Amino acid sequence: MSAQNSSAPKSMRTPLGRVRNLGSSHSGTKDFWRQRLTAVAMIILVVPMIVVVMMLLGRNQAGAAQILGTPLIAIFVLLFIIASVWHMKIGMQVVIEDYIHDEKLKLVSIMANNFFSVAVALAAAYAIFKLSSGV
């Protein structure tokens, strides 16, 4: 009799993949849960962000700097930026991994996605720091 039970469900994953619990992208469910975590963070932070945007309506740069200069508001805005950019990066990486099949192009696309995400986060954080410092 064979060592493998014929009634056991067949799996397309390798034994090492089953042990490590990794999917085809070799990252397991880490990105899935991180994207859900950032989505929950954005849901929580969207109400304060709507309030901040409503406070900024009709203000000039000095008024916006005064509002964004409040430490609590600047923190909420920065947290929203970080969660949004991280969520965007993960989502775009999933799209790249799913739809780009050429390995070199996939690598270049993922690198470009990472650099773009960092650039957006840094530019937004710099703008908030600059406005909140009054410079």
The answer to whether residue 33 scores a pLDDT higher than 70 is yes
* For range 40-65, the mean pLDDT: 93
Quote the CA–CA distance of 84 and 125 in Å, as a whole number: 12
Lowest mean pLDDT among 5-14, 36-45, 92-101: 5-14
Count the neighbouring beta carbons within 10 Å of the beta carbon of residue 74: 19
For the domain covering 28-133, report its CATH number: 1.20.1300.10
pLDDT of residue 131: 79
- Percentage of residues of the chain with pLDDT beyond 90: 59
Q: What is the mean pLDDT of the chain?
A: 85
Helix (H, G, I), strand (E, B) or coil at 33: helix
The residue ranking higher by pLDDT, 17 or 86, is 86
Question: Residue 76 burial by CB count (10 A; 0-12/13-18/19+): exposed, middle or buried?
Answer: middle
Quote the CA–CA distance of 68 and 104 in Å, as a whole number: 43
